[in-house]
Every structure is written in C-alpha cells, then in structure tokens.
Chain A
C-alpha cells in the first residue's frame, strides 16, 4: 500500500532532550516536506526536500534540522526542543514539487515538550 509513515505518533518529552521524528514513504517520491499545525495558524512548512541531498527552509525552520540521505526517508530533528515546539507535525511527499502532483500526508505526530 502506498503510504507515508511517521514515528512516533505521540511523544511527550522535556525541554532540551534531543529527539528525531522519522518519516518514510514507499512511493519513490522525490519531494518531501515537513509541516507543523497549530490552532488558528493552519499548516506552516518547516523544511522541504526536492530530492536526495537537497533540502531547503520553509517558513518556520528555526529549531529544526532535517536530512535527506536516501529518497524514502526524511527525518525531522529537534536538537534542543522547547515548549514552543509543542505542535502537531505532518510529513508529506509527492512525485515532484507542484504540477499535478498533490502531496500525500502522513498520519501526524503529536509532540508535547514540557
């Protein structure tokens, strides 16, 4: 089944403790992206990747890192999480950026930073 998976789905952590949220897609998509969703703010793009080893900042990259060493995986790293990073995170992928290629979204990761 074609899908985008994220792990973990739920995470409660403490300020400053490094964490990684994994994202994997099995559709051989070139484009992958991370978003955070906060009430009243919609979804905001954190980072995106046009292909392997090509990443770029979205609108809210501060406090996050990403890497794209292989096509299927696009992990989101929080080196020193803070409470303002408490949010719902979505990973998404598409064959390429734009055009007829709408994005396929993962199930989401709810992160709480205490």
Chain B
C-alpha cells in the first residue's frame, strides 16, 4: 500500500523567511502533484512533477522531485501572508500496476505566515 507522508504538518513562518515542506512516499512513482487549499475552499492545482529531477516554479513556490529518494520538496522563498493555506502532495503509482488510478494524498501542511 502506498503511503505518503508530509512534514512538517504545521508551519508558522514570518514574512520574508524561507522554508521547505517535505513529501516522502513509499513506492516507485514518477507522478507527483502539489495542491493548495484555502480555508473553507476546494483544492487548487499547483505543480505536476513527472520525472526524476523535475523542478517547477511559480512565484515564491518551487517544487522538485527526486524519484530515487522518493522525495518531493516544496520550497517557499520570502514568504508573504497570501501564501497562508494548507498544502498537499499526492502520488500516483507508476503505469502498469493494478492501482494505476489510485491517488494517495499526504496529510497536508498547514502554513501560516505572520507579519
């Protein structure tokens, strides 16, 4: 069974600081997704990472994937209040298996950015 673990689960940051959220997963996969959820809202797609070494950047967020280490990171640069939200990573097993469409989410990281 695929397991996905994020850490930290809670992150309180000051504006202007940098930090990284980690997403570890337990089985071979090169299909990893990051989502953002604002309080009381649905999920919004941030990044799609599909190969070892993939790096994607959007504004102050940068995501990377190391499939050999089974690790993805979401790096926050110079945090601002608007980044306060819950961030989820999610993993799909590689094609060819019986669970090809079975998406497993991490627990989520609640990020709060303070002035």
Contacts and interface: CB of A to CB of B under 8 A. Distances in A.
Interface of A: 31, 33, 35, 40-45, 48, 50, 56, 58-59, 90, 92, 97-108
A59 B104 contact: yes
Given A42-B108, A90-B43, A100 B103 contact: no
Contact of B102 (A58, A92, A107): A58
Interface in B34-49: 42-45, 48
Contacts of B101: 31, 33, 48, 50, 56, 97-98
Interface in B7-58: 31, 33, 42-45, 48, 50
Nearest to B86: A42
Closest 3 CB pairs of A and B: A97-B101, A102-B45, A43-B105
Interface string B87-115: 01010100100001111111110000000
A99 B43 contact: no
A101 B92 CA distance: 11
A42 B43 contact: no
